[in-house]
């Protein structure tokens, strides 16, 4: 099967040789199409070289002073065209560096490896009275992986400890009903082991005991994650008792027969058609996620239809893993599509009934001729000659491509990595936080470090299976 395959990442290396910092990223050899700007300060033992091609930075070497490493790496990844003035400013003076730290927005990433922002570091320093770079590393993980951001962390700490520092970090509360941040709220809920939303509001002294739409959904979500028996108290939240139908404006309901992976057969289609005819359901549509929806079902028919549909009805939770979408080659593409259908079918089964902090869209491409829908999904899998490329953190709404997270050699490995990723997101993601925002917050390097350990994956898969079994037991 011919395809483009993995095109590679921008490689970087951070070293300390005999006490001297050395950093290299991308290409650093000059040739006919690549020219360089070089700075050499033999007196202070500093050498810097930045390589350009067609106005864009494609590589760099830093020796003795690696403080610009993060900035250069970001410019290479962004493929940014630089003006002549911007080229001159690539290597600022010490005073200009200090001003750069001062003017940096709180949301700017300081540590790319672990997704640590300037604001996170300032908040950690102020809350925990941190006074050294090592303490910041232990608390926030900033500079804890490649170490390339260590000079920037040091500059930021110097700024925080100076008389010029006047930035205030306003603590964001979970919602207007409480003075607690989301992290504080979750810690308190874990400590007290609450059983009801009302208990949370009363004991944690919420300002509004009735709550709002944000904390109503959020508290139910966290209680569900923490309490194995919480499902039994949730009937009042459902459109129907087990969330298999959506109430429409005319008092009728819409239901979706379960079709794992969007793959069905003549017998199942005939079964659905017979049920629709038997209960006078005239409106049937194909959904955007490759499923069949029956519209205009009367309430008294819902239990009968659920029993008579061969695979039953799909659960329609608000925040969950949505149906896996499969994209098969376009035009004259004759690549195999069977592995993609088999993978989507297995993922649908593994992730059925699983609730998540925010909706998750998974897309699968049968070959490398299809890329956009896969890379812009929360999780995307694309078939290549040696297995599956797995992308994470994309967003179709923001036209944002996810990062290549892993290359799996088999369907089984692709399922394990994808499911483990989702379970780790379930355990560490904030309510309504998308997969992309979660990865930016915790850092894709950190997520890789967790999931590349086989023991961690086994634990996460076991937890996911337990959650799914609990949900199925409740529905029965």
Note the pLDDT tens digit of each residue in 156-178: 999 899 888 888 777 788 999 99
pLDDT digits (tens, 9 = 90+) for 1-38: 444 444 555 566 656 666 677 888 888 778 777 888 88
The residue behind tokens 């593994």 is 350
Q: What percent of the chain has pLDDT over 90?
A: 36
Q: What are phi and psi of 48, to 5 degrees?
A: -140, 135
d(CA 434, CA 424): 13
Contact 361, 378 (CB under 8 A): yes
The tokens of 366 are what? 């049968």
pLDDT surpassing 80 at residue 304: yes
Please give the residue that has the higher pLDDT: either 405 or 32.
405
The residue behind tokens 């690539």 is 90
**Which range (61-70, 89-98, 123-132, 304-313) has the least confidence?**
89-98
d(CA 92, CA 416): 46
What is the three-class DSSP state of 415?
A: helix
- DSSP at 146: S
Average pLDDT estimate for 123-137: 91
Average pLDDT estimate for 230-236: 48
Nearest to 259 by CA among 287, 231, 234: 287
d(CA 469, CA 266): 30
Banded pLDDT at 228 (limits 50, 70, 90): low
Banded pLDDT at 278 (limits 50, 70, 90): very high
Nearest to 363 by CA among 418, 298, 282, 445: 418
- DSSP at 173: P
d(CA 368, CA 389): 10
pLDDT digits (tens, 9 = 90+) for 419-432: 999 999 999 999 99
The tokens of 187 are what? 């810690």
Average pLDDT estimate for 48-63: 86
What per-residue string of b and e applies to 358-379 under the rule 16 or more CB within 10 Å gives b? Answer: bebbbbbbbbbbbbebbbbbbb
Q: List C-alpha distances in Å: 336 to 85, 323, 348, 410.
A: 51, 22, 20, 15
Question: Which span out of 28-32, 198-202, 400-404 was modeled with the highest average pLDDT?
Answer: 198-202
pLDDT surpassing 80 at residue 405: yes
**How many CA atoms does the CB half-sphere of 469 hold within 13 Å?**
6
Please give the residue that has the higher pLDDT: either 183 or 20.
183
CB atoms within 10 A of CB 83: 9
pLDDT digits (tens, 9 = 90+) for 307-352: 999 888 887 767 888 888 888 876 667 788 899 999 999 999 999 8
Please give the residue that has the higher pLDDT: either 121 or 16.
121
**Which range (27-36, 259-268, 294-303) has the least confidence?**
27-36
d(CA 466, CA 336): 34
User: Which pLDDT score, from 0 to 100, does residue 363 have?
Assistant: 93
Average pLDDT estimate for 189-200: 90
Q: What percent of the chain has pLDDT over 70?
A: 86
CB atoms within 10 A of CB 114: 25
User: Which pLDDT score, from 0 to 100, does residue 13 have?
Assistant: 63
User: Which pLDDT score, from 0 to 100, does residue 237 have?
Assistant: 33
The residue behind tokens 């470090």 is 449
**Which range (19-28, 48-57, 131-140) has the least confidence?**
19-28
Q: State the first-to-last Cα distance of the chain, in angstroms, to the nearest integer.
A: 44
Please give the residue that has the higher pLDDT: either 42 or 85.
42
User: Which pLDDT score, from 0 to 100, does residue 203 have?
Assistant: 94
Average pLDDT estimate for 275-302: 91
Average pLDDT of the chain, as a whole number: 84
User: Which pLDDT score, from 0 to 100, does residue 457 have?
Assistant: 95
Average pLDDT estimate for 76-94: 67
pLDDT digits (tens, 9 = 90+) for 373-387: 788 999 999 999 889
User: Which pLDDT score, from 0 to 100, does residue 1 have?
Assistant: 42
* Beta-ladder partners of 371: none
What DSSP assignment string belongs to 294-322? EEEE-GGGHHHHHHHSTT-BPP--SSBBP
CB atoms within 10 A of CB 357: 23
């Amino acid at each position: 099967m011919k395809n483009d395959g993995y095109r590679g990442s921008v490689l970087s290396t951070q070293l300390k040789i005999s006490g001297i910092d050395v950093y290299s990223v991308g290409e650093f050899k000059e040739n006919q199409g690549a020219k360089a700007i070089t700075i050499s300060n033999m007196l202070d033992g500093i050498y810097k070289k930045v390589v350009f091609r067609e106005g864009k930075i494609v590589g760099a070497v830093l020796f003795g002073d690696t403080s610009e490493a993060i900035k250069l790496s970001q410019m290479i990844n962004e493929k940014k065209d630089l003006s002549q003035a911007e080229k001159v400013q690539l290597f600022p003076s010490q005073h200009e560096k200090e001003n750069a730290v001062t003017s940096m927005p709180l949301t700017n990433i300081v540590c790319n490896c672990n997704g640590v922002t300037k604001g996170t570091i300032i908040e950690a320093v102020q809350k925990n009275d941190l006074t050294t770079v090592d303490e910041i590393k232990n608390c926030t993980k900033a500079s804890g992986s490649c170490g390339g951001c260590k000079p920037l962390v040091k500059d930021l700490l110097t700024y925080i400890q100076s008389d010029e520092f006047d930035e205030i970090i306003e603590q964001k509360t979970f919602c207007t009903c409480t003075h607690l941040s989301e992290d504080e709220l979750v810690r308190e809920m874990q400590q007290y082991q609450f059983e009801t939303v009302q208990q949370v509001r009363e004991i944690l002294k919420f300002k509004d005991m009735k709550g709002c739409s944000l904390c109503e959904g959020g508290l139910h979500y966290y209680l569900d994650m923490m309490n194995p028996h919480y499902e039994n108290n949730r009937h009042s939240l459902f459109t129907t008792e087990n969330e298999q139908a959506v109430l429409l404006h005319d008092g009728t309901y819409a239901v979706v027969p379960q079709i794992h992976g969007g793959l069905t057969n003549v017998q199942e289609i005939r079964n659905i058609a017979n049920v629709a005819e038997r209960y006078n359901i005239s409106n049937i549509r194909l959904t955007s996620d490759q499923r069949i929806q029956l519209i205009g079902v009367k309430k008294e028919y819902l239990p009968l239809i659920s029993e008579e549909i061969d695979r039953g009805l799909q659960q329609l939770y608000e925040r969950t893993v949505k149906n896996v979408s499969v994209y098969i080659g376009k035009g004259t593409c004759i690549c195999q599509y069977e592995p993609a259908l088999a993978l989507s079918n297995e993922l649908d089964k593994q992730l059925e009934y699983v609730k998540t902090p925010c909706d998750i869209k998974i897309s699968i491409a049968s070959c490398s001729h299809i890329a956009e829908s896969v890379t812009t999904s929360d999780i995307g899998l694309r078939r290549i000659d040696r297995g599956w490329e797995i992308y994470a953190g994309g967003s179709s709404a923001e036209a944002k491509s996810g990062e290549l997270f892993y290359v799996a050699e088999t369907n089984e490995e692709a399922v394990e990595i994808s499911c483990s990723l989702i379970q780790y997101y379930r355990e560490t993601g904030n309510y309504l936080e998308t997969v992309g925002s979660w990865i930016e917050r915790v850092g894709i390097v950190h997520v890789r470090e967790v999931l590349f350990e086989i023991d961690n994956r086994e634990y996460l898969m076991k937890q996911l299976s337990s959650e799914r079994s609990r949900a199925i037991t409740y529905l029965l």
